[in-house]
Amino acid sequence: MTFIPRRYAMLAAYTVFLVMVDQLTKASIARTMRLHESIPVIPGFFNLTYIRNPGAAFGLLASSSSGFRMVFFLLTSLFAIGLLMTIFFRLRPTDWWGQITVATILGGAIGNLIDRIRYGEVIDFLDFYIDGYHWPAFNIADTAISLGVCSLFILFACDKRKSHCAIPEHRSEL
């Protein structure tokens, strides 16, 4: 029997939790709302708006053929997951911030990959706006990816600062 370290099991459970929350919220939206329906939650600022995004972030590649998009997103998702796993296994076992960050991005990537495989597009529903200026709608997986990437940049910046700003110890013998 193979022993899985507790930290890996906990991080896998966290990743699965994020995927489940993402998929359950998307299923709830798809089941209870009509496509393009919008429900005001905070008038003038936030609506639940059911849309399907065939493209990437901000609708990039949305006008490309569905076959191209499927292959492109499948390959990029698999590459990203492989890269995340490489980063994860190179982190120090005591680096919880880094491990949670990578697990967060991984959960988001898997959540959106499931949509792309199931529907050929991603279900989005979080619609923030001010007056007539809307931020592109997004979902829980997008939120996890965005927060995780921001956290990863902060983590890398802090690590770089530590190594760049480290003052070597000099011992002078008198």
What is the average per-residue pLDDT within 137-154?
94
- Let me know the angle formed at the C-alpha of 45 by 146 and 126, rounded to the nearest 5 degrees: 40
How would residue 109 be classed by pLDDT, with cut points 50, 70 and 90?
very high
Instruction: Give the span between the Cα atoms of 114 and 161, in whole angstroms.
Output: 37
Q: Pick the residue with more confidence: 65 or 94?
A: 94
Distances in whole angstroms, Cα of residue 24 to Cα of each of 21, 29, 79, 111: 5, 9, 25, 10
142 domain residue, yes or no: yes
Per-residue pLDDT at 4: 67
How would residue 60 be classed by pLDDT, with cut points 50, 70 and 90?
low
Catalytic residue, from 22, 115, 127, 142: name it.
Answer: 142
Instruction: Give the span between the Cα atoms of 145 and 151, in whole angstroms.
Output: 10
φ/ψ region of 48 (left if φ > 0, alpha if ψ in -120 to 50, else beta) reads beta
128 domain residue, yes or no: yes
14 domain residue, yes or no: yes
How many structural domains comprise the chain?
1
Instruction: Give the span between the Cα atoms of 42 and 58, in whole angstroms.
Output: 22
Give, as one character, the DSSP assignment of residue 59.
Answer: G
Count of helix runs (H) and strand runs (E) in the chain: 4, 4
164 domain residue, yes or no: no
- pTM, two decimals, is 0.82
How would residue 110 be classed by pLDDT, with cut points 50, 70 and 90?
very high
124 classed as catalytic: yes
Strand runs labelled E in the chain: 38-42, 46-53, 122-130, 133-134
How would residue 167 be classed by pLDDT, with cut points 50, 70 and 90?
very low
Catalytic residue, from 124, 127, 131, 159: name it.
Answer: 124
57 domain residue, yes or no: yes
Residue 166 predicted with pLDDT over 70: no
56 domain residue, yes or no: yes
Asked if 140 contacts 22 with a C-beta cutoff of 8 angstroms, the reply is: yes
165 domain residue, yes or no: no
110 domain residue, yes or no: yes
127 classed as catalytic: no
Range of the domain at 37: 6-156
